[in-house]
Amino acid sequence: DDILWTVTAADIDAAGSEKQDITLGEVLDIKYPRKSLVKLFEEKLIHINGHKATPKDVISEGDEIWIAMAKEKIDQ
């Protein structure tokens, strides 16, 4: 199943960054194994507000993150 959620202040706080801009990669690193994320980004299955995303894309509260599951099962 695909994963869809709206970024909250808690997600941004959890990234614990001192800087202003929080990247998608920083938030996803907390939630999911990096090995799985690399594959999802390579296959362009992660989106921010309907647009294909990279780990370096800056996100903010209220952004909608959509992770489409790969056709094959991803190791958890």
The per-residue pLDDT for 21 is: 85
- Evaluate if pTM is beyond 0.75: yes
pLDDT of residue 71: 67
What's residue 17's pLDDT? 62
CA–CA gap between residue 55 and residue 42 (Å, rounded): 10
Task: Give me the number of domains the chain comprises.
Answer: 1
Of 30, 34, 31, nearest in space to 3 by CA: 31
Give the structural domain span for 35.
Answer: 3-67
Which residues make beta-bridge pairs with 3? 67
pLDDT digit string (tens) for 15-72? 876 667 899 999 999 889 989 899 999 999 999 999 999 999 999 999 999 999 866 6
Residue 46 within any structural domain of the chain: yes
Q: In this structure, what CATH number is given to the domain that contains residue 63? A: 3.10.290.10
Which pLDDT score, from 0 to 100, does residue 13 have?
86
Spell out the residues 6+ positions from residue 62 whose beta carbon is closer than 8 angstroms to its own: 6, 7
Degrees to nearest 5, angle at CA 56 with 73 and 21: 130
38, 22 Cβ separation under 8 angstroms: no
